[in-house]
Amino acid sequence: MIIKRVLTNNSVVIEENGIEKIVCGKGIAFKKKPGMKIDVSLINQTFVLEENANHRYEDLLKDVPMPYIEISREIINQAKLQLAKPISDIVILTLSDHIYAAVQRVKEGISIHNSLLWEVQNYYELEYELGKKGIQLIKEREGIELPDDEAGFIALHIVNAQINDNPEMDSAYKITKLIQEITTIVRYFFSRNFSSSDIYYYRFITHLKFFAIRMFNGKTMNNNDLELLDVIREKFQLAYNCVQQIKDFLQQKYRYTMTDEEIMYLTIHIHRVVNKASDKNH
């Protein structure tokens, strides 16, 4: 492998078959220059990046020390094993950048509150547990104890890496925020809380996750089965009225218009979760 650009002592850019790759490994570029060969036995991570993203990630790698990339790699490898889902390796870079910045903040006595921590703990339990293991790993390796808020941020990085190929955390944050907003409307409408351990609540949250993903990706469900919607509206009137509030909220805040099919399915899920909660309270 021939070096095309040296980023740090631990990372270089190479080109294979016309595709640029970032190759990482401890000391892989020590005393090396473009045009020289690298020791392939030192490679522990390779990133294949889209052309328009290359320089952004190159800049990131120049700022993040190798130990943080190693920590992030271990967290993501563990996530792949436990979640058994495809996860983009690019998240290793953005996660390492976040962890390094979080550690620097703690050293400077600066704390950032994760406003979605409760939602992360309840909507993404497995990812949150991985986040907890992550901050434990950081404590062991770097001697810095990060707050639970950071476990939530790590979890959001993992969630977003499962959602799409864009490793930025913005998508996961927006989706989680939308779920929070919709569940808040439902709680206030029916004046009750719901148990996160309830299977119907779990199905409700899962439905909202996929609804949010479709909404932010500009995709909709729409079979225009108006006759079935009329039946659902008559049968589950309270839940339907609640969905109308949600529909108005989405229109006002996000300029998003719910389709009849989305209204129908959300009505069914809300009816189920509310009525099962009522059954358990009697």
Tens of pLDDT, residue by residue over 182-241, are 999 999 999 988 887 777 888 899 889 889 888 887 877 665 556 778 888 898 999 999
CB 153 within 8 A of CB 168: no
pTM above 0.95, yes or no: no
Cβ contacts of residue 170 below 8 Å, gap of 6+? 160
H helix or E strand, kind and range, residue 83: helix 66-83
Looking at residue 250, the DSSP 8-state letter turns out to be H
What letter represents residue 70's amino acid? E
Q: How many angstroms separate the CA atoms of 5 and 33, rounded?
A: 8
**Residues 236-260 pLDDT 10s:** 999 999 999 999 999 999 999 998 8
The upper half-sphere exposure of residue 140, i.e. CA atoms within 13 Å in the direction of its Cβ, equals 8
Considering the chain, what is the average pLDDT of its residues?
A: 84
CB 232 within 8 A of CB 192: no
pLDDT score, position 141:
94
Q: How many angstroms separate the CA atoms of 20 and 70, rounded?
A: 22
Q: Which domains does the chain have, with CATH numbers?
A: 3-49 (2.30.24.10), 66-168 (1.10.1790.10), 175-280 (1.10.1790.10)
**Along the 282 residues of the chain, how does pLDDT read in single tens digits?**
888 888 888 888 888 877 778 888 888 888 888 888 888 888 887 777 655 555 666 777 777 888 898 899 999 999 999 988 888 778 888 899 899 989 998 998 877 888 889 889 988 999 999 999 999 999 999 999 999 999 999 998 898 888 755 445 577 888 899 999 999 999 999 998 888 777 788 889 988 988 988 888 787 766 555 677 888 889 899 999 999 999 999 999 999 999 888 998 899 899 989 987 555 554
CB atoms within 10 A of CB 195: 14
Residue written as token pair 């390492």: 96
